[in-house]
Amino acid sequence: MRCAPLLPLCGLLAAGLAPVVHAEMPGDRPATLPAVQVEAARVQDVDDFDLPASLSSVGVGRDLNGRAAQASELLDGIPGVVARERQNYAQDTQLSIRGFGARSTFGVRGVRLYVDGVPATMPDGQAQLSHFNVLGAERIEVLRGPFSALYGNSSGGVVQLWSADGRPGDPWRVRTSYGSYGTSSTGAQLLGQQGPVHYNIAANHFETDGWRDHSRARRDSANARFGIDLAERSRLDLVFNYLDAPDAQDPLGLTWAQAKADPRQATAVAYQYDTRKSVRQAQAGAVFTQQFDTQTLRLMAYAGQREVEQYQSIPKATQANPLHAGGVIDLDGDYGGADARWAWQGELLGRPLDVTAGANVDRQRQHRRGYENFVGDTLGVKGGLRRDQRDTVENVDQFAQAWWQWSERWSALLGVRHSEVRFRSVDRYVTARNPDDSGRRDYSATTPVAGLVFKASDDLRLYASAGRGFETPTFNELGYRNDGGAGLALDLAAAKSRNYELGAKWRNQAGARLELALFRAETDDELAVASNTNGRSTYRNIGRTRRQGAEMDFLLPVGRDQQLQLAYTFLDATVRDGYRVCAASGCAVPDALVAAGSRLPGVPRQQLFARWQWQPAAWQFAVEGAASGDTLANDLATASAPGYALLNLEAARRWNTAHGAVRAFARIDNALDRDYIGSVIVNDGNGRYYEPGPSRGYTVGLQWEFGAGRE
């Protein structure tokens, strides 16, 4: 990688603070560096059980029975989370938390992603789960509710993937799997410790012919984490990750008639224009942590490069408009940032007090070009230039939080964050019929949060929290105006929300736990899809919306070798202000009313996940059930995907040999072979809303653990 885009990281290295931090959690294996928790909404030496937030932590383990290639495999059992594999690797997983991010037509927005404490979300708020490497992971964490706002812009929820920290004696492993539709995944992990250096290097190759036609894809990903024990109570971590996903085919959505007739087909124009997308991304991060008697200092810097090329199905006739940006998107850019935070532990009026304060800056520079997707009569190739602009977004944030246990039974967590986000665009494609569309838009917000916890007993906590949040448009949403004009949609306002939560947490010494939460989020200037035609989306602000509901998370050990897990979500997401939309594509003036009280599209009202696992000796068996309510596909509620229920089965066997442990595993997804719609494309202008889910499929694989890291 070039050094210029890595300036924040280079500066940290030059200062002698280089190589990324691992914030240990209760229950982690002992480390040379004592456990540190200096993240937003986390408090050093305070169990998450005692915090007024919905935070789920799921151990990944080394015994996954699926492909271990997609982060969505780890998120099914977490309440409030929708992670939908679209059978379309050109568009990546749909991810939403309590309804935030549900309208995204590409990747993830409205939810913040992190890998080993380093941002995996671009500074403009856009992200992809393909950035996560599952093979090297130790756990995945999901934060929901008001305290997500402490992570800044577009934080309707937070997902963090943590890599395992190498220790002496950790085995290395090789893993391979094969399954239906020509799907295979092969990877290796080197894990251990050499002297003061902890290492975890994981690489994976994934490819599939695709369940649907015209959906072949390949992904190569790698993640490396090196932790260096420096002087006493100080540590330096380095994280590197890489993704290469060339020419992932895009089958596009289907109409209801097409989905019923043949759910595996691709839309005709997908073949005509050979719709596809290529992504390449490389990123590096560094975190230095120093602990003192009562203080902790954490410095982080990261930088990366990302390239995207996407061929869309926009007709030649549509591109005759001189203001049109073409049918090929070509993006490349650099991004990076730095974060500094300080934490102090002491007392106030003789009771424990923990204070954290810090600041961060992020910057993204993007070169956006648009080309015609034809040359003469040849379609699906890069043609003439139609757009050329330089986009920049940067933010400067300051934040602080304080946790105080003012009595034996009561504690409070308070926080505030101030964010300033600046978007700039310089138009370099100016003609007599296409004027200069350069522009800028600045956003700012102060987002306070507060929560109380009551210790009803040693095993029971009751809590309440409230806060504000905000979400600016991403460059994806600013990219195209909904009036058909050229340039960015700089008239879009930031959405601002008020979030409330009441909850209860219970657990016992046997390992059982139950968590319940009631939540409400009221949003002003909701960002919504205005149009979605031929693979291109435009957005607008639609006024007030409300998301409210309930969550339940239950875990029950049964004897010594069985476990039952249940997760349930009820979500009522509605419009509070009526607005008008076009009832048919091509209309100039919106002519149909979406009444107040109407449901928001893209959000199922109910979800249920259940898993029973039995592990007798060297065997492992599991049965999973996943159910989802119906999901609206458009604002007018004239199209919807019906609800569904799926059954998945797993089995595995482990053998210990003189050359290491060998494990064979198998999984059957959709064992009852149900027909269902896995995801929807909200407000698709051609009525192609539906992305069918796969029929019964299998995965079989082998894993070999061998050797050991040595100190």
Average pLDDT over residues 282-306: 95
Split at pLDDT 50, 70, 90, the class of 28 is very low
Q: What is the pLDDT of residues 607-618, one digit of tens each?
A: 999 999 999 999
Q: 65-74, 210-219, 298-307, 479-488: lowest mean pLDDT where?
A: 479-488
Q: Which residue has the tokens 């757009």?
A: 387
* Cα separation, 103 vs 108, whole angstroms: 9
Decide if pLDDT at 27 tops 50: no
Report the pLDDT value the prediction gives residue 534, as an integer from 0 to 100.
53
Report the pLDDT value the prediction gives residue 67, as an integer from 0 to 100.
82
The four Cα atoms 207, 211, 214, 218 give a dihedral, to 10 degrees, of -10
Report the pLDDT value the prediction gives residue 323, as an integer from 0 to 100.
85
Decide if pLDDT at 23 tops 90: no
Q: 87-91, 403-407, 479-483, 652-656: lowest mean pLDDT where?
A: 479-483
* Cα separation, 107 vs 140, whole angstroms: 19
Split at pLDDT 50, 70, 90, the class of 41 is low
Report the pLDDT value the prediction gives residue 533, as an integer from 0 to 100.
61
> How far, CA to CA in Å, does 418 sit from each of 151, 193, 388, 397, 401?
10, 40, 33, 5, 12
pLDDT averaged over the chain? 89
Distance of CA 418 to the CA centre of its chain: 23
**Nearest one of 467, 389, 447, 335 to 9, comparing CA atoms:** 335
3-state secondary structure of 12: helix
* Cα separation, 689 vs 257, whole angstroms: 11
Decide if pLDDT at 102 tops 90: no
Q: What is the pLDDT of residues 677-690, one digit of tens each?
A: 999 998 888 899 99
* Cα separation, 289 vs 38, whole angstroms: 10
Split at pLDDT 50, 70, 90, the class of 649 is very high
Q: What is the pLDDT of residues 361-371, one digit of tens each?
A: 999 999 999 99
Q: Which residues of 664-697 are buried (b: 16+ CB within 10 A; e: fewer)?
A: ebbbbbbbeeeebbbbbbbbbbbbbbbbbbbbeb
Q: Are 652 and 664 in contact (CB under 8 A)?
A: yes
Report the pLDDT value the prediction gives residue 465, as an integer from 0 to 100.
97
Split at pLDDT 50, 70, 90, the class of 701 is very high
3-state secondary structure of 50: helix
Please classify residue 89 by burial: count the beta carbons closer than 10 Å to its beta carbon, then call 0-12 exposed, 13-18 middle and 19+ buried: buried
Please classify residue 485 by burial: count the beta carbons closer than 10 Å to its beta carbon, then call 0-12 exposed, 13-18 middle and 19+ buried: middle
Task: Name residues whose C-beta falls within 8 Å of residue 537's C-beta, 6 or more positions apart in sequence.
Answer: 105, 106, 476, 477, 480, 529, 531
* Cα separation, 20 vs 236, whole angstroms: 6
* Cα separation, 708 vs 711, whole angstroms: 10
DSSP state of 434: B
CB-CB neighbours of 584 under 10 Å:
9
Q: What is the pLDDT of residues 226-274, one digit of tens each?
A: 999 998 899 999 999 999 999 999 999 999 999 999 999 999 999 999 9
Q: Are 151 and 681 in contact (CB under 8 A)?
A: no
Q: Which residue has the tokens 């994806």?
A: 476
Q: What is the pLDDT of residues 525-540, one digit of tens each?
A: 988 877 766 556 778 8
3-state secondary structure of 329: strand
* Cα separation, 22 vs 614, whole angstroms: 32
Give the domains, in start order, of the chain with CATH numbers.
4-706 (2.40.170.20)
Residues in the chain, how many?
711
Average pLDDT over residues 104-126: 85
Split at pLDDT 50, 70, 90, the class of 31 is very low
Beta strands in 118-196 (DSSP E): 118-119, 126-127, 137-144, 157-163, 172-179, 183-194
For the chain, percent of residues with pLDDT exceeding 90: 70
Average pLDDT over residues 658-685: 94
Report the pLDDT value the prediction gives residue 210, as an integer from 0 to 100.
94
Average pLDDT over residues 430-458: 93
Tell me the Cα Rg of the chain.
25
Q: Which residue has the tokens 């350069």?
A: 438
Report the pLDDT value the prediction gives residue 536, as an integer from 0 to 100.
62
Split at pLDDT 50, 70, 90, the class of 585 is low
Q: Are 475 and 124 in contact (CB under 8 A)?
A: yes
* Cα separation, 64 vs 108, whole angstroms: 24
Structure token pair of residue 625: 């059930």
**Nearest one of 9, 35, 8, 3 to 21, comparing CA atoms:** 35
Decide if pLDDT at 408 tops 70: yes
Report the pLDDT value the prediction gives residue 433, as an integer from 0 to 100.
86
Structure token pair of residue 363: 């910057």
Average pLDDT over residues 560-589: 87
Highest mean pLDDT: which of 55-64, 78-87, 328-337? 328-337
* Cα separation, 676 vs 535, whole angstroms: 22
Average pLDDT over residues 345-359: 95
Report the pLDDT value the prediction gives residue 321, as an integer from 0 to 100.
87
Beta strands 112-115 and 157-163 are parallel
Decide if pLDDT at 14 tops 70: no
3-state secondary structure of 577: coil
Task: Name residues whose C-beta falls within 8 Å of residue 586's C-beta, 6 or more positions apart in sequence.
Answer: none
Decide if pLDDT at 9 tops 70: no
pTM summary value: 0.90
> How far, CA to CA in Å, does 214 sit from each of 45, 265, 618?
51, 8, 41
Beta strands 197-208 and 217-229 are antiparallel
Instruction: With residue 359 as reference, give the H or E element that holds it.
Output: strand 351-371
Decide if pLDDT at 37 tops 50: no
Amino acid in the structure at residue 645: A
Q: Are 489 and 531 in contact (CB under 8 A)?
A: no
3-state secondary structure of 382: coil
DSSP string, 242-306: EEEEEEEE----B-HHHHHH-TT---HHHHHTT-EEEEEEEEEEEEEEEE-SSEEEEEEEEEEEE
Structure token pair of residue 542: 């639609």
The more confident residue out of 467 and 232 is 467
* Cα separation, 301 vs 342, whole angstroms: 15
* Cα separation, 233 vs 435, whole angstroms: 59
Report the pLDDT value the prediction gives residue 8, as an integer from 0 to 100.
37
* Cα separation, 200 vs 186, whole angstroms: 17
Report the pLDDT value the prediction gives residue 566, as an integer from 0 to 100.
97
